[in-house]
Amino acid sequence: MSDKRTIFQKNQVYPLTITSFTSEGNGVGHLEGGFAVFVPDTAPGDVIEVKLVKVLKSYAFGIVHQMVTPSADRVENDCQAGYQCGGCTYRHISYEAECRFKQEMVQNCMQRLGGFDLKAKPILGAEKQEAYRNKAQFPVGYDKNHKLIYGFYAERSHRIIPLSDRPCMIQPKEFSEIADCVIDWMQRNQITAYDEKSEKGVIRHIYLRKGEMTGEVLLCLIGTPKQCPAVFKLCEMITKRFRQVVSISYSCNPKNTNVIMGKSCETLYGTGYIKDILCGIEVRISPMAFYQVNHDQTERLYALAGEYAALHSDDLLLDLYCGIGTIGLSMAKRYDIKHLIGVEVVPQAIEDAKFNAKLNGMGAQFICDDASGMAKKLKDQGMLPDVVVLDPPRKGCDEEGLLAVTQMEPKRIIMVSCNPSTAARDCKFLCEKGYKLVEYTPVDLFPRTGHVETVILLSKGEIDSKKVRVEFSLEGMDMSGFQQGATYEQIKAYVLEKFGLKVSSLYISQIKRKCGLEVGQNYNLSKKEDAKVPQCPPEKETAIMEALKRFRMI
């Protein structure tokens, strides 16, 4: 077979029909022999002449040389930044078509990567597609004339697309106005922008957050020196013009890295946080804490997650990757949950979560730790949550954490994922460990962009043996681990104390045998021939199993 690189040549033009989208929003068409070509700013149904700009062995990248027949889904791209930014990958098609493609993308990932035949529920599209983002992180730099600018990085580069004369259409208008004021302050005080090549300069990013319901705005500057110069002049300029700015902070990040924020934030003015109201919960949001960028769609997402959770007031809810506690607290409020435990690795987020629980008069325990590691610790402690919520970052969950969750045997697992690929992978693992994919619904939190959120319900189903709740407090809990084994008398004492059940050595040996553990040679034997050996009742088996887990014997 001849090499396709000799058939299709770089800089040559070929007729092409776009048939599908990639997850990044690029159109895909196929030339002779199924040779795939990826073309940005096209839509399924476009008939084009494509110019190949990069040709590889089995696929190529191209640009539109001429539009022959536009897709019925195509609309005019009304963003002034046009095709330079690369953020709004779907702005050239109708929103109805965007929702359709996003639903197909999620379903394809679940089927192709997860192996699931189950179809997605209809996507929850957004009523508001413009000015919905409550967060912006603008890099600061210079244009070719060495003029200070801010904006967004062009796709797959660190070249800044300036926004000083063309505000972003999915951001609140005031974000650009505040950023303009920061640039003015830098110019007046001769404060330089950071340059990645020379590793010199002061200000790296302008970071903004807004409370949708309160209108409060937080401004945070990210720079290289330990202290921000001329900060009092900045605070005076900003607060005089923008009354809605209630907090100004500074984060030092001297490293030459793609990570935006430094390790901590210094409050220069105001409270150090803003407040918002989400699902009837008043929340505090600090610069370092995670908070969903689309308020209205987040309320719909959390409502759906709550329906999937189907909690009762006496249930125990474990919220992993809890951020500032919003999803767990919203469920606790809706179902009057008395037992909520949240885990998050960011210290400031946990402080916000604790504050939010207190602010709303709700009892909850929030732990600052890695979600995966803490899941394993809690499993070893014998925790039996009724429902577990997983809201991981784009990389998804790791297998150790997922395994620990399955070993806790919650009745339901609710996954909230911003990455359909990792969601499909993680769901596949959970189903291999005994769970069933019941339902999943895409939710569009990011209109006009290539991103989509998905809410997923997995169920354990009916469990034959009675599940016994272990009541305990995390206050002062020693997470250093337990002894590796225990005597029969210790197991009996633990089961009696925790479950109020008396168990015999015979029953303990039966369960140890089930788990592949060594037992004394005379256990389970009778001196009489054909004697019937009593079998351990289900409720006692459950209690003994938990004791073995408690002593880390299984």
Catalytic residue numbers?
A: 418
DSSP at 260: -
Strand partners, 247: 218, 270
184, 201, 253, 267, 287 from 263: Cα distances, Å: 27, 19, 7, 14, 11
Element (H, E) at 153: strand 148-153
Distance of CA 458 to the CA centre of its chain: 17
Q: In angstroms, how far is CA 40 from the centroid of its own chain?
A: 27
Q: How many residues does the chain have?
A: 554
**Which residues, in sequence order, are CB contacts of 278 under 8 Å at separation 6+?**
213, 295, 298, 299, 302, 326, 330
Residues 482, 491: Cα–Cα separation, whole Å: 13
| Nearest-angstrom CA–CA distance, 424 and 411 | 20
Which two tokens mark 283? 């929340």
- Give the gyration radius of the chain's Cα atoms: 28
CA distance 344 to 479: 16
CA 2 to chain centre: 45
Which residue reads 């609309």 in tokens? 75
- CA 518 to chain centroid: 43
HSE of 335, CA atoms in CB hemisphere, 13 A = 25
Query: Pick from 336, 433, 423: which is nearest to 379 by CA?
Result: 433
Give backbone dihedrals phi and psi of 325, rounded to 5 degrees, phi first: 90, 5
* Residue 492 near residue 508, CB atoms below 8 Å: yes
Give residue for tokens 């505090």. 284
Under a CB-based contact definition with an 8 Å cutoff, are residues 248 and 178 in contact? no
Question: 65: which 2 tokens?
Answer: 């040389």
Contact residues for 527 (Cβ-Cβ < 8 A; gap 6+): none
Question: Which helix H or strand E contains 55, and what residues bound it?
Answer: strand 47-55
